[in-house]
Structure 1
Amino acid sequence: MVIRLALFSLLTVFVSSQEIAVDNVAAKNILGIGRMQAVAVSGRLICNGRPAANIKLKLYENEILFDRLMEEGRTDSNGQFRVSGNKREISRIDPKLNVYHKCNYNGLCYKKFTIKIPKDYINSGREAERTYDIGTLNLANQYPGQSTDCLN
């Protein structure tokens, strides 16, 4: 009986620790661990000198295994956009903006490139205090790390 009780106790501790590891994000939110951090990015996208309308943008928190989407948006008819998001994290968030487009490209998928957001534009709280302006980018250019993405 004592052996069964000891095995049951060990199994309970193991299962509980696995549930906590799997549900770490929920635990952080429920327990209030970490601090809420916010970021915002704006800019204008063009294609061969013309506004690039309806371009998909995704603001992510860069994670070790899977990036976490903070916000998704699109450019307006003038190619302008602003996306912002927030996330509760123990350490400083590592935000990035993915841009998905078909400027000068007729394939089935999209061209994708990533812009890392400087740490200076991250603040505590739910709302971004400053906006990182990427300026005007011509999507006809080739950007470092540009790839093709079919699953965006």
Structure 2
Amino acid sequence: MITNSIVVFLFLLVSVFAQNNEIMAKNILGIGSTQAVAVSGRLICNGRPAVNVKLKLYENEILFDRLMEESRTDGNGQFRVSGSKREITTIDPKLNVYHKCNYNGLCDQKFTIHIPKDYVTSGNQAARTFDIGTLNLANNFPGQSTDCIN
């Protein structure tokens, strides 16, 4: 006979396992659905293309954000990033932008763009792309900070 303490222990064990290996645990338990998101745009610095700017698309989590894709801008400052994750609830995607426009420090300037949930679609490929338009990195963005570990 299984006691309540054993059931609680097994639940906690699965919870810890799920945080360390989210996809495997969710597949074993058969919960959640695959959801995708895509973001595109162009980055400039003082009117010139912001070339080779690092971009990271994350699924915003309570403890640790999960990287979905990392990319860089092209020679014209343009980019498109996309990714998918298996989640029980709707994913909460965000795009981190790391740049050095008008900044000479050792680290990067970082700001985050939160992607609206209506751009999250079912499946492995995003059905719609959230276009941020053209952003001038010379501007100050809300929440912008210095990031040395990205």
TM-score (normalised: structure 2): 0.91
Matched, 1:51 2:49: yes
Gaps of 5+ in 1: 1-5
1:18 Cα deviation from its structure 2 partner: 3.2
1:90 Cα deviation from its structure 2 partner: 0.6
Q: 2:62 aligns with which of 61, 64, 77?
A: 64
Give the distance between the partners of 2:28 and 2:85, measured in 1 at CA. 13
| Same amino acid, percent of matched pairs | 74
Q: 1:91 aligns with which of 89, 114, 120?
A: 89
State the number of aligned residues: 146
Gaps of 5+ in 2: none
Give the distance between the partners of 2:144 and 2:54, measured in 1 at CA. 15
Within 5 Å, give how 1:18-57 maps onto structure 2.
Answer: 18-24=12-18, 25=22, 26-57=24-55
1:126 counterpart SS class: coil
Give the distance between the partners of 1:23 and 1:150, measured in 2 at CA. 30
Structure 1 stretches of 4+ moved >6 Å: none
1:97 counterpart SS class: strand
AA of the residue aligned to 2:94: K
Q: Deviations over 1:96-146 (max 9, x none)?
A: 000000000000110000000011100010000000000000000000000
Give the distance between the partners of 1:32 and 1:78, measured in 2 at CA. 43
Within 5 Å, give how 1:92-111 maps onto structure 2.
Answer: 92-111=90-109
Partner of 2:11: 17
Give the distance between the partners of 1:31 and 1:17, measured in 2 at CA. 12
1:27 Cα deviation from its structure 2 partner: 1.1
Give the distance between the partners of 2:7 and 2:88, measured in 1 at CA. 24
